[in-house]
A and B are shown apart, each in its own frame.
Chain A
Amino acid sequence: MGSSSSSSYMRNIPQAQVLIHETGFSAAHLLRLYERFQFLDKGSTGELRAQDFTAIPSLALNPIGDRIIGSFFPPGQEKLDFPSFVRIMAHFRPTDPNRSRDGTQLEPVNSRNKKLRFAFQLYDQNGDGNISRAELLQVLRAMLGVQVPEEQLQSIAERAIQEADLDKDNVISFDEFRKSLEKVNIDQLMSIRFLK
């Protein structure tokens, strides 16, 4: 794609300028994401559905692939348009230290907090703002080899909750979740280098 064709291409992208401003993606990033979006959109409907995602073969090998797909779709919604797609993907943009947004604005979608939020809702399936023992257990079950028996899983979940649960209500709230991951370099662990 030459630069001339790419600029004309840009016009096809819905809300391009708004998205660039909001997510911090460059035009080239956006263009690439748009191409990908169209590629995934098998029916050319302008919207993605869950099965468009599941058609990506390598996702089948991802133990939490289903959850990640699920997190693209807000509860009750079955379709995903391009702007929403980009907004979700923007969570994974590396944080750039020199790009200081003026403080009055919303915090950027790729901030540490937002990244954590995204990770949190992978666990919190019922959306009540807490990770319950059962919810944690489900993730563990998906993530652990079959060699681990159920009792062990349960005790692991129990322990993990105990570790993180500061107010002793037997669930992990978002604050507790954030505190427990304080030492983890989220910026690095939850960023990929988007191609231009």
Chain B
Amino acid sequence: MHLSGLVQLWLLGSLMLTWPVSGLIRMHPESTGTSAETDHGHHNSSVEEVPIVTFKWPHVKTPYLITLWIFVAFLGKMVIEANHHVTSVIPESALLICFGFILGGMIWGADKKQTFTLTPEVFFLYLLPQVILDAGYTMPNKLFFTNLGAILIYAIIGTCWNAASVGLSLWGCHEGGAMGDIEIGLLQYLLFGSLIAAVDPVAVLAVFEQVHVNEVLFIMVFGESLLNDGVTVVLFNVFDAFVSLGGPKINAAEIVKGIVSFFVVAFGGSLLGMVFGLLISLLTRCTKNIKIIEPGFIFVLGYLSYLTAEMLSLSAILSIVFCGVCCQKYINANMDENSVNTVRYAMKVLANGSETIIFVFLGISAIDKEIWVWNTGFILLTLLFIIIYRIIGVFFLTWILNKFRLVPVSFIDQVIMSYGGLRGAVAYGLAVMLDESKIKEKNLMISTTLIVVYFTVIFQGITMKPLVRWLKVRRANTSELTLIEKVQNKVFDHMLVAIEDISGQIGHNYMRDKWKHFEDKWMTNVLMKPSARKVRDQVFKVFHRLNLKDAVSYVAEGERRGSLEFVRNETAIVDFKKKIGEDFTEVMPDIMADTSSDYDAMTDMRRDPVPSVSLEIHEQGMKGVRETEDVNTHHLLQQHLYKSRKQHRHRYSRSHFHVNEDEKEVQEIFQRTMRNRLESFKSAKMGVAPPKTISKHQKKDQQQQQKMANGKQLDKSKTYNSDFEFSEGDSATGFEASGTSSPWRVTYRAGAGIENPAFMPDMDLTDPLQVPPWLADTELDSSSSMVAPSQRAQVRLPWTPSNLRRLAPLRISTRSTDSFMMADREATQPRNEDDERFPPPPPPPPAPHRDEGHM
């Protein structure tokens, strides 16, 4: 099902990719004319006899060419990406542009003119929406909204400043006679300033994806580039209207109208996008029966939001950004997990594909004699001004912003922000859209824009990495930490979060707290499926429900067992990392890459698992003096330390998406806290000693068993697969946060064997009411509210079989042992024996720790 969904989306995707280039070809009637003539001849000759086969080129020509172009662009990307040593120095976007130069040269050589160029229509209507929708949908929301104030200031004020200052300065230089004899007035300069002002998200992302700067810096540059596209298009339209109106007719009223229109267009567009986002969320509530096409809604409605905004002359870019930002949370919760994955993949396919095409065509467009008009003064001054004014703008705005930030944006970050002002295809698209009848020097503007784009993307793109290194910009993560520092940093994170919780300031922001309340109360109720809501409740309001009410009433009532204990035990786990490091490096490179990247903040940005492998080996080689064990220990810490809420922001990357590990950890911590509390509760109430620490012996046993179980593991996973194909409702992947409609039952069965350490088995036996877990299973559908919470707890067990293989091979085995043991249990083994087999879940509660007991 998953696959078919994917294929479906692929088709949809290729369709979307297909339109653009069809537009592209339609734009060039001359070329179609010439080829049509030759085709005509073919047609005639085939009439005279009965054809066995005919050559029907005109029939398929348009789609054929489009597909061929896409194919060529993808091939180009493939070749480029195959050379890691090149892409590590020169960013992919620059290489794609160069690839475009070559292609353009070939076309020029064949046709003596540029047959294919990037037209604004194709770019704005077909290529851009795909990229922007992806950016919105995968936006790290928390990070984005935390820094929204700064982003908006950069995007709105910064862009207006850039546009105005560049336009005015150029005009000043023109008046001063620096450009010779060209016919450009003040308004035209401002128009040009507005189109060249905006930083381009496509270009920025392509470069910043490869230099791993810290996440705040990243979101600032990226968020700004995303939003200021909207702003610049609006500005462009306003000035375009002014230019059409002509200088003399512009009076105060028109200027006021222009400013009002700016805000109406920008905020209207954003609002429209939000409406569409909510619409998608609502729709996905009811797509239970059409799972196959439910991912399609997101694409279709997202695109519709773009087109609608375009139709209403609102900001289409802002519309589709906010559409994606608004709907991501709800649709991820509402839709089937497979659909969510499908959406993510398809989104990446589309975005990455159109990004590739954009860059290639940016390159191709340059090889065209007609557009090149050289004016040294104009071009060099433009380059100079955009750089200078960006620097001034960034530093000035940051200076103001820093007064309000806890962690000020550092000087070096500001340098990188200024330097990261890459221009891209949006500017080019706007320049091509200029009306030649009103602006005489259109071609000069186009060539200048192209030069600016090439300079920023290629030159700044290449120098960005060395600059980041040279300035020692704070990176996404620092590696050379001592163990104690590493642990301590995490302690600090957790501590701050806790203090914020205690002082009642959720994430620095009281408003956000309020918003969250509102959202919980209204939005979630309306926009999420009841089942998804339950899962969500369970994550966020875990403590109250489970600890205070359920657990207490449970115990008091008479020990219904089978609730909270974790079967998953650490004893079942071998030191995977170490083992892999020693034995399996050659055998299972993928797995190694996967595990090493799981918790690594940087790796979602990595394009390929292969380098991470070699990196690690390299690292080990370098530290030859140190014991490998030491390295291992560091790795282990790196990967397994819980991240605090602050760290859970994943990064945006167009070519990869990253399944957030977040939920699993939340689960683990929660289970653990619950256990501790139950234990302290129990010991307080009943005077029963807490369960003893697992003995080594048992552990070894468990490992042994684990290994044996590994043998059966394959069969096990097969069973899952077949289950999964035959009945959707039974999907064994049910318990991911994204939520399925009916995860309860299966999850229970698969992950069962969870027992509450607080409930002693002997008490259980004396209780006549007690329901054994295997019976509870059948009872479940009509289960009483008393049983429910415990199941919810289990439902959130952090494994999904679909993830297992990728994330940590270990877990497969843990999982299969669970079911393995379940099988044993269903053979009605005496309970006591079972309980011995299941050592109390790790880690055993430390004695002094319990002193702070809270019951």
Which residues of chain A have a CB within 8 Å of any CB of chain B? 33, 36, 39-40, 50-51, 53-70, 73, 89, 92, 94, 119, 122, 125-126, 135, 138-153, 155-156, 159-160, 163-164, 172, 177, 180-181, 183-184, 188-195
Instruction: Say if the beta carbon of B82 comes within 8 Å of chain A.
Output: no
Across the interface, B849 reaches (CB within 8 A) one of A125, A148, A188, namely A125
> Which residues of the partner chain A approach B568 to less than 8 Å between Cβ atoms?
146
> Which residues of the partner chain A approach B16 to less than 8 Å between Cβ atoms?
none
Instruction: Say if the beta carbon of B778 comes within 8 Å of chain A.
Output: no
Least Cβ–Cβ distance between B324 and chain A, in angstroms: 27
Complex: A134 Cα to B674 Cα, angstroms: 23
Complex: A149 Cα to B629 Cα, angstroms: 15
- Whether B495 and A122, one on each chain, are in contact in the complex, defined by CB atoms closer than 8 angstroms, is yes
- Whether B502 and A53, one on each chain, are in contact in the complex, defined by CB atoms closer than 8 angstroms, is yes
> Which residues of the partner chain A approach B810 to less than 8 Å between Cβ atoms?
147
> Which residues of the partner chain A approach B644 to less than 8 Å between Cβ atoms?
62
Across the interface, B406 reaches (CB within 8 A) one of A40, A58, A65, A191, namely A191
Known: A119-B488, A143-B490, A183-B485. A156 touches B854 (CB 8 A): no
Residue from A65, A119, A122, A181 whose CB has the most chain B CB atoms within 10 Å: A65
Complex: A194 Cα to B505 Cα, angstroms: 8
Complex: A73 Cα to B853 Cα, angstroms: 12
Least Cβ–Cβ distance between A144 and chain B, in angstroms: 5
- Whether A163 and B483, one on each chain, are in contact in the complex, defined by CB atoms closer than 8 angstroms, is yes
> Which residues of the partner chain B approach A40 to less than 8 Å between Cβ atoms?
502, 504
Across the interface, A63 reaches (CB within 8 A) one of B494, B633, B848, B854, namely B494
Q: Which residue of A lies closest to B510 (CB)?
A: A195
> Which residues of the partner chain A approach B677 to less than 8 Å between Cβ atoms?
54
- Whether B498 and A150, one on each chain, are in contact in the complex, defined by CB atoms closer than 8 angstroms, is no
- Whether B508 and A192, one on each chain, are in contact in the complex, defined by CB atoms closer than 8 angstroms, is yes
Across the interface, B854 reaches (CB within 8 A) one of A53, A89, A140, A144, namely A53
> Which residues of the partner chain B approach A39 to less than 8 Å between Cβ atoms?
504
Known: A144-B641, A184-B485. A122 touches B670 (CB 8 A): no
- Whether B846 and A156, one on each chain, are in contact in the complex, defined by CB atoms closer than 8 angstroms, is no
> Which residues of the partner chain A approach B642 to less than 8 Å between Cβ atoms?
63, 143-145
Interface size class of B (residues with CB under 8 A): 35 or more
Majority secondary structure, B binding face: helix
Query: What 9 pairs across the A-B complex have the smallest Cβ distances?
Result: A60-B543, A70-B852, A193-B406, A138-B846, A141-B843, A145-B640, A160-B483, A125-B848, A54-B854
Given contact pairs A55-B544, A89-B502, A138-B849, enumerate 17 new A-B contacts (beta carbons under 8 Å). A57-B540, A59-B498, A60-B547, A66-B673, A68-B494, A69-B498, A119-B491, A122-B495, A139-B487, A143-B494, A144-B637, A146-B568, A149-B574, A153-B843, A163-B483, A190-B495, A193-B406
Complex: A54 Cα to B672 Cα, angstroms: 14
**Chain B 411-426 near chain A by CB (<8 Å), digits 1 or 0:** 0000000000000000
> Which residues of the partner chain A approach B489 to less than 8 Å between Cβ atoms?
184, 189
> Which residues of the partner chain B approach A184 to less than 8 Å between Cβ atoms?
485, 488-489
- Whether A67 and B501, one on each chain, are in contact in the complex, defined by CB atoms closer than 8 angstroms, is no
- Whether A156 and B808, one on each chain, are in contact in the complex, defined by CB atoms closer than 8 angstroms, is no
In the complex, chain B residues 557-582 whose Cβ is within 8 Å of any chain A Cβ: 568, 570-571, 573-576
- Whether B487 and A61, one on each chain, are in contact in the complex, defined by CB atoms closer than 8 angstroms, is no
- Whether B492 and A61, one on each chain, are in contact in the complex, defined by CB atoms closer than 8 angstroms, is no
Instruction: Say if the beta carbon of B484 comes within 8 Å of chain A.
Output: yes
> Which residues of the partner chain B approach A141 to less than 8 Å between Cβ atoms?
843, 846
Across the interface, B498 reaches (CB within 8 A) one of A68, A140, A143, A159, namely A68
Instruction: Say if the beta carbon of B282 comes within 8 Å of chain A.
Output: no
